[in-house]
Structure 1
Amino acid sequence: MQTPYNPPQKLASLSRRRKSPISLTPLIDVVFILLVFFMLASSFMDWRSLSLDTSAAGEPAPSDKMPFVVQIGADSLRLNGESMSPEQLIEQARSRPKGQPVSLQPLADTPVQAVVVVMDALNEAWVQPLRLVEDPQWQPTVVDDGRGDQ
């Protein structure tokens, strides 16, 4: 006589194997390695540097050259008092005498971004040296934060 087929025992043994816990440690390791890889391989910002002379050590010797002062406003550019476009400014800066510094003078309440845009445009046109000068009419404002400390 043939032994009867007994499927419930096999299903019970299969269900015991399926209930074993799944370890997430290898998955976490792989995700961490991918995270570190993409953090090191990615570049989110384009870092560039601009050469800028901000030294106030003494006044330069007077020269016979015409000063090259670029006044930067929130929405205007002036070269020695004459209003001009950024393209005209770059053309004038390239035709100045060799070695004459370009003095950048942000006017009062000019956003820093406007100054950086002009500096970047001059730097891309290989206009050097750049010097930052203060607007003589600018007066710093004292902000009272209500704390009473000075």
Structure 2
Amino acid sequence: MIRLEETRPRRRPNLTPMIDVIFLLLVFFMLASRFGSDRALPLTFTGSGTAYSGPPRLVELAPSGLFLNGRNIAPQDIAAALAPLMQSPDDIVVLRARDGADLQSLVTLMDSLAAAGLFRLVLVE
């Protein structure tokens, strides 16, 4: 008599080891990656009665450029242009970002002013 081989049912693959490997990779990349560094912007709160003294020092950041008291100025010249208007490095500099100005330009401006020794920055709308 001829005997045919019985068809065995197909085995379903075991996914547990693969899920374990994916989980370990996920944990590894979560621990090894850097999601970003938060940075606080140092701004002075002047609502405590500090009086503004001296000539106007309004630095406006617009999409079209940088303005000091309404006059267009190059970003690298802002510290030199502010020097004659300052009585001391502790004087307040008022920053205003106009509509359309991006945040990175404002942070870059604040960094350049801090590099020039001007730390009392007030940000207004």
- TM-score, length-scaled by structure 1: 0.59
Q: Is the 8 A contact 2:97 2:106 kept in 1?
A: no
Encode CA deviations 1:94-146: one digit per residue, 9 max, x unaligned: 77421112210234xx2251x54133332255341211124xxxxxxxxxxxx
Note if 1:117 corresponds to 2:105. yes
Note if 1:132 corresponds to 2:123. yes
2:68 paired residue among 69, 79, 93: 79
Q: Hey, what's the Cα distance between the residues in 2 that align with 1:123 and 1:66?
A: 23
Q: Hey, what's the Cα distance between the residues in 1 that align with 2:52 and 2:22?
A: 64
Give the 3-state SS of the residue equivalent to 1:122 in structure 2.
helix
Encode CA deviations 1:42-69: one digit per residue, 9 max, x unaligned: 22434322112355444x3253x32321
Is there any run of 5+ residues in structure 1 with no aligned partner, and where? Answer: 1-11, 135-150
Q: Hey, what's the Cα distance between the residues in 1 that align with 2:83 and 2:19?
A: 57
Q: Give the number of the structure whose residues are more often strand, by fraction.
A: 2
Q: More deviation in 80-89 or 116-125?
A: 116-125
Q: 1:101 to 1:116 in 2, by over 3 A?
A: farther
Q: 1:26 to 1:90 in 2, by over 3 A?
A: farther
Structure 1's consecutive aligned runs of 4 or more residues displaced over 6 angstroms after TM superposition are none
Partner of 1:99: 90
2:44 paired residue among 21, 41, 53: 53
Give the 3-state SS of the residue equivalent to 2:28 in structure 1.
helix
Bigger radius of gyration, 1 or 2? 1
Note if 1:88 corresponds to 2:74. no
Give the 3-state SS of the residue equivalent to 1:72 in structure 2.
strand
Q: Is the 8 A contact 2:44 2:122 kept in 1?
A: yes
Give the 3-state SS of the residue equivalent to 2:36 in structure 1.
coil
How high is the sequence identity, in percent, across the aligned residues? 33
Coordinate RMSD, CA, aligned:
3.2
Tell me which amino acid in the other structure corresponds to 2:110: L
Give the 3-state SS of the residue equivalent to 1:23 in structure 2.
coil
Is there any run of 5+ residues in structure 2 with no aligned partner, and where? Answer: none
Alpha-carbon deviation of 1:20?
4.6
